[in-house]
Structure 1
C-alpha cells in the first residue's frame, strides 16, 4: 500500500510554473501515481498512473475518479498495478 501521507500537497493550477511541473512529474514517477482533488467535481478525487513503453517515456495514463475520499487508498494500488501491467506489456522494464 502506498503511503499517501508522505505525498506533498498538490500544487494549485495557478502555481504551475515550469519548475513546479517538473517537480510534480518527478513525484509522479517516484510514487507511480498522481492525485487530484475537486478539479472536475466538488469532493471528487482522481487517481492517475502513467503508462510507460519500452523507452521509459510516458505513452498514456490510466485513471479512475471516485467521490469518497475514504476509498482512496483502496484504489491506489489497483490503478498503479494496472498501469505497471500495461507498461510491462509494452516492453517497459522499469
Structure 2
C-alpha cells in the first residue's frame, strides 16, 4: 500500500465552482481498435476488441494546466478548484 493511501487523514476533497466533487484528472490514451478488414467502399469493419497503450498515457492540459473532471463530467483547471469546505463557504 502506498504512503498516500495510508495517510488519508491529510487528504482533502476538492470541488468545482459549481460545488461538484472532483473525481480525477483527464487523461489522453492511445490505442488500437481492431478491424476485420475493409468493405468494397473502403469502410473499416470494426471488431469488438481494442488495445490501450498505457505507456503512452498523458494528462490532458489546457493552456499548460492539468484538467480535472468533476462528478458531472465538467472540465476544470486546478486554479478553478477549491477545498470542499471553502467552496461551500463561498456558495453561501
TM-score, normalised to structure 1, is 0.23
Rg larger in structure? 2
Query: Hey, which of these two has a bigger chunk of helix by percent?
Result: 1
| Structure with the higher strand share, 1 or 2 | 2
TM-score by length of 2: 0.23
Q: Which has the higher contact order (CA 8 A, sep 6+)?
A: 2
